Homo-oligomer: A and B are copies of this chain.
Amino acid sequence: MLKTPPHTPETPEPSKASGTTFGPLPLLFYLLQWLPIAAVVGIFAGSASALLLVSLAKATEIREGHIWIVALLPLAGLAVGVLYWYTGRSVEAGNNLILEEVHAEVENPDAVIPFRMTPLILIGTFLTHLFGGSAGREGTAIQTGASLADQLCRPLRMDRAQRRIVLMMGISAGFASVFGTPLAGTVFGLEVLALGALSYEAIAPCVIAAFIGEMVTRAWGVTHTVYIVERVPNMSLRGLLSAIAAGVLFGLMAMTFTKLTHAIKRMAARHIPWPPLRPFAGGVIVAAAVFAIGTDHTRRFLGLGVPEIVDAFHKILPPYDFAAKTLFTSATLGMGFKGGEVTPLFFIGATMGNALSHLLPLPPSLLAGMGFVAVFAGAANTPIASTLMAIELFGAEAGAYAGIACILSYLFSGHSGIYTAQRIGRAKD
């Protein structure tokens, strides 16, 4: 049985800072206890992210080489639907299941996130991307990270407080390793739990797991895409007001995306009673749109869309691309395909930022970087993790503009984000 941390109140009680006992020695035990666990979580999550990234690169390469494969997207949807219906109903809730488990008030000593979450989400994501669904990968990384981490809890006989920490470490390490951003991953694991508040419980185990996870992915030889913000003007009043205006628009975009995706999900649930048919129908819609409009015009909206995101930093793109990506992604994910929302949100934000360069006096490359993180910040209600992500990907100078945009986007994106199991810690004013 592991040492229970000396004090983990469920509802923090404000009190004067001087009234608590505390010693460095118990903390050293705390650190020595969590260090090896963080290492194991990091190795699990980082390895799963490496496998995910390699498999998605393969899926993308095959799809790009044989674009007719998108015609089979309905069948892929049916396969994903059937797979989850017959073997994965307990893990269907995905990210929300993990957040629910972190929040659970009562501990069921036998509750462990089933191991099958990992292979199912990896297969579901691979099929989604191979056949041209528009989706992301952070959901997959979080689910593999947290479900693999959770397997440690029973053999180590952890109590509820300890299991919370393990799950948060899994989220942090998954996020850190899939995007190559360990500081953002650390804060994301804490920030995603509740909207408007951040508790530092688990911050030390999370930072260790996040950095180890990121290193393990690199150790597998997997590299991350480099995005370069070409020019960052010195901060000025004009720059500040432009960043505020952009942030407001990114936030409204985040709200639109969230509402649209949730609406499609509800509509599908109402009209298609048998769940496996929902991604089938989604596949029909997406594939029909792809071939009706023409693959030359639509292929950039399928899968992760990384080449188009890179282009948003270097070229002027069609100003409607962010809207098209929104429709493709909401249809894909709202109908039940797998992967995640975040990389499409990067795409939507980066191309929308690129388009905003027609209206706002900031360089398109900088606006692309700001949108990349800020639409995500609004949709996930994670402004600080998103700001850190901007800094880790684009550098500290661009991070200042991105930070302003992330905070304003967070404020304007509404109270329902992409993770419906997220709680409200502090309402937006």
B407–A203 CB distance below 8 A? yes
Our pick among B7, B18, B391, B395 for the contact of A416 (Cβ within 8 Å) is B18
Our pick among B14, B244, B415 for the contact of A18 (Cβ within 8 Å) is B415
Q: Does A252 contact B (CB under 8 A)?
A: yes
Q: Which residues of B contact A198 (CB under 8 A)?
A: 197-200, 384
A396 to chain B, nearest CB (A): 5
| Residues of A within 8 A of B (CB-CB), count | 83
A5 to chain B, nearest CB (A): 4
Given A22-B414, A408-B204, answer yes or no on A427-B8 (Cβ-Cβ < 8 Å): yes
Given A14-B194, A235-B211, A399-B396, answer yes or no on A411-B20 (Cβ-Cβ < 8 Å): no
Q: Does A273 contact B (CB under 8 A)?
A: no
Q: Which residues of B contact A240 (CB under 8 A)?
A: 208, 211-212, 215
Q: Tell me the nearest residue of chain B to A207, going by C-beta.
A: B407
Q: Does A12 contact B (CB under 8 A)?
A: yes
Our pick among B19, B187, B425 for the contact of A14 (Cβ within 8 Å) is B425
How many chain copies? 2
Bitwise interface map of A from 385 to 398 toward B, beta carbon under 8 Å scored 1, else 0:
00110011001100
Q: Does A17 contact B (CB under 8 A)?
A: yes
Q: Does A15 contact B (CB under 8 A)?
A: yes
Stretch in A24-32, A52-60, A314-322 touching the partner? A24-32
Q: Tell me the nearest residue of chain B to A429, going by C-beta.
A: B5
A201–B196 CB distance below 8 A? yes
Bitwise interface map of A from 110 to 143 toward B, beta carbon under 8 Å scored 1, else 0:
0000000000000000000000000000000000
Bitwise interface map of A from 409 to 429 toward B, beta carbon under 8 Å scored 1, else 0:
011101111011111111111
B424–A12 CB distance below 8 A? yes
A423 to chain B, nearest CB (A): 4
Our pick among B35, B399, B407, B424 for the contact of A20 (Cβ within 8 Å) is B424
Given A399-B391, A427-B8, answer yes or no on A27-B195 (Cβ-Cβ < 8 Å): no
B207–A235 CB distance below 8 A? no
Q: Does A186 contact B (CB under 8 A)?
A: yes
Q: Which residues of B contact A429 (CB under 8 A)?
A: 5-8, 27, 30, 201-202
A207 and B424 CA atoms in complex are apart in Å by 21
Q: Which residues of B contact A35 (CB under 8 A)?
A: 244
Our pick among B183, B196, B244, B384 for the contact of A187 (Cβ within 8 Å) is B384
A427 to chain B, nearest CB (A): 4
A318 and B390 CA atoms in complex are apart in Å by 38
Q: Does A359 contact B (CB under 8 A)?
A: no
A142 and B7 CA atoms in complex are apart in Å by 32
Given A9-B427, A200-B383, answer yes or no on A412-B17 (Cβ-Cβ < 8 Å): no
A312 to chain B, nearest CB (A): 21
A294 and B2 CA atoms in complex are apart in Å by 54
Q: Tell me the nearest residue of chain B to A214, going by C-beta.
A: B235
Give the B-binding residues of A (Cβ under 8 A): 5-9, 12-20, 22, 24, 27-28, 30-31, 35, 103, 182-183, 186-187, 194-204, 207-208, 211-212, 214-215, 235-237, 240, 244, 248, 252, 255, 383-384, 387-388, 391-392, 395-396, 399-400, 403-404, 407-408, 410-412, 414-417, 419-429
28 of the cross-chain contacts (CB-CB < 8 Å) are: A5-B429, A6-B429, A7-B427, A8-B427, A12-B426, A14-B103, A14-B423, A15-B424, A16-B420, A17-B421, A17-B422, A18-B416, A20-B415, A22-B415, A24-B414, A31-B248, A183-B403, A186-B403, A196-B200, A197-B200, A198-B200, A199-B425, A200-B410, A204-B408, A211-B404, A214-B235, A215-B240, A391-B391
Lowest 7 A-B CB distances belong to which pairs? A5-B429, A198-B198, A14-B423, A20-B415, A196-B200, A7-B427, A12-B426
Not counting A17-B423, A31-B244, a sample of 12 additional A-B residue pairs whose C-beta atoms are within 8 angstroms of each other reads: A6-B427, A7-B429, A12-B426, A14-B194, A17-B195, A17-B419, A31-B248, A31-B408, A35-B244, A197-B198, A199-B426, A395-B396
